[in-house]
Amino acid sequence: MKRSSDPLHPFVIFQYTLQGSGTYVEKGQAHTVLPQQAFVTIVPSDSHYFLPAESEEWKFFWIQIRHSYMGSV
């Protein structure tokens, strides 16, 4: 919710896992993200992602999409 976010100008993140695993949490529901899996999230929103203790690594790439026409969600 705080990550350089402006509720009037949200942006989208697409994140794809290459190796290892991570956890993506949206609206209180946790999802394990494995290699060749991805998630899309809007910032700001009630979501976060992290490297869980049981995972040794999480290699991924992400694409951030911003556009002046994106309005409040």
Report yes or no on 1 lying in a domain. no
**Total tally of structural domains belonging to the chain:** 1
Q: Is residue 5 part of a domain?
A: no
Instruction: Please give the Cα distance from 55 to 17 (Å, whole number).
Output: 13
Q: Which range among 2-6, 24-28, 56-60 shows the weakest confidence by mean pLDDT?
A: 2-6
Distances (CA, A) of 72 to 7, 9, 52: 6, 6, 31
Q: What is the pLDDT of residue 45?
A: 86
Residue 24 within any structural domain of the chain: yes
Does some domain include residue 56?
yes
Predicted pLDDT of residue 1:
47
Average pLDDT over residues 11-36: 96
Q: What is the pLDDT of residue 8?
A: 72
Domain for residue 57, yes or no? yes
The answer to which of 2-6, 49-53, 57-61 has the lowest mean pLDDT is 2-6
Domain that holds residue 16: 11-65
Residue 71 lies in a domain: no
- DSSP codes, 5-58: --TTS-EEEEEEEEEE-EEEEETTEEEEE-TT-EEEEEESSSEEEE--TT-S-E
Q: Is residue 20 part of a domain?
A: yes
